[in-house]
Structures are given as structure tokens and as C-alpha cells.
Chains A and B, each alone.
Chain A
Amino acid sequence: NAGVTQTPKFRVLKTGQSMTLLCAQDMNHEYMYWYRQDPGMGLRLIHYSVGEGTTAKGEVPDGYNVSRLKKQNFLLGLESAAPSQTSVYFCASSLQGTPLHFGNGTRLTVT
């Protein structure tokens, strides 16, 4: 039982490049989330999904897109990376009304 798995763990991008972060969970959770964590700012919700085929905007959605084609996977895309998107990205999943289970994070640097 792996829980929530994120790939890759580290990535360096140049401004304007694109990439996709993958999140996979094996707990049959309906809800999945993408957060970014920046120093002194806590965790901020980018996008979330309440079920397969659904997505919704969180607090800081600009510059990101997401897709939930399968229940166990939640993809976060950056179409044109900017230095302001340098951050640590955490995926999480949950059932309705239960605590968040986080992945190990992806450290992204945009130069």
C-alpha cells in the first residue's frame, strides 16, 4: 500500500518550458488536491478534484492546469513555466470529510 505517490521528486525547468507532475493514490479516495508550499506562506491550494472527470480551482490556480481522467491519478500541468512557480508541490487525497493524505512532494525550480 503505497498511499500517495508523486513523480518526479525534483525538476529544473527553464522559463517557458512545460511539464506535468503526476500524482497517484491507491486508497480509492474520491478527492484529490494539488498544493504549493512556499517559505513563510504555508500550503496553498492550486486545484482539486472531487471525483473522476471533475476538477475545480483552488486559491492560486493561475498558470496551472489539471486533469483527472482516472480516479487514482491527478495530473498537474505547467504550460509555460515562470520563476514565480518555483516551489515545492504536494499532492494529497482524501475521502469526503476525512483528513488529507499527502505525497512526498516535488521540488520544482524554474530558472
Chain B
Amino acid sequence: GENVEQHPSTLSVQEGDSAVIKCTYSDSASNYFPWYKQELGKRPQLIIDIRSNVGEKKDQRIAVTLNKTAKHFSLHITETQPEDSAVYFCAASMGGNEKLTFGTGTRLTIIP
């Protein structure tokens, strides 16, 4: 089955700087890559996703890049703010949500 590795497990960034979280996947058939944000004690929420026919997608300060050849994708957060502090999960799927495999999460801390 699919295996998703996520790095780093923890990341501290000065407010205003950029943060990058990387994930690799094992199954070349995977074609859907969402990112979820989970604030402390709350539910995971989708922040951005990308499909394999696209190399990059942006939404304001958040962007995701996908390298199908290398089988890795990354989340980029620019101009970080205190409210960006959370745990971020990447995931990969070759079909529907029932085939989603999650990474182990990255705890991002924004230092004021």
C-alpha cells in the first residue's frame, strides 16, 4: 500500500519568515495530495490540495508544489503569523478519500 513520510516532525519559525514542510509518497499511482491543518484540541481542516496534473497551486500565503518524478510534495507558508501555529498533515491517495494515507504530522510553532 501507500506509504507517506513527512518531515520535519517539528518546526519553529520566526514570525514573518517562511515555513516549508515536505512529504514523500511511495505509490506512483497516487494522484491527489491534500494538506490538513489541526489547531490544538480541534478538528483537522483542509487548507489546500493538489492533483497530479498540476505542479503548483497557491492560495494567498499558502502554496503546494508537486514533483511526480521524485514522488514528493511540499507545503510552503510565507509571511508566517501566530495563527499558523498548528499541526500540519499531508496525505496522498490514488483514488477516493477511503484510500487516503496520512503523514505523521508536523508541529509548526511561530515565534513572535
Give A contacts to B, CB under 8 Å.
31, 33, 40-45, 48, 50, 56, 58-59, 90, 92, 94, 96-97, 99-100, 102-105
Q: With A42-B103, A42-B105, A43-B89 in contact, do A48 and B98 touch (Cβ < 8 Å)?
A: yes
Contact partner of B97 among A40, A59, A90, A94, CB < 8 A?
Answer: A94
B contact set with A: CB distance below 8 Å: 1, 6, 9, 34, 36, 42-46, 49, 89, 96-98, 100-105
> In the complex the two chains form, what is the Cα distance from A46 to B98 in whole Å?
10
CA distance A59 to B91 in the complex (A): 14
Closest to A31 in B: B97
Task: Decide: B34 and A50 in contact? CB cutoff 8 A.
Answer: no
Cα–Cα, bound, A50→B99 (Å): 12
Q: 12 A-B contacts, Cβ less than 8 Å apart?
A: A33-B97, A40-B9, A41-B104, A42-B102, A43-B44, A45-B98, A94-B97, A97-B96, A99-B49, A99-B97, A102-B43, A102-B44
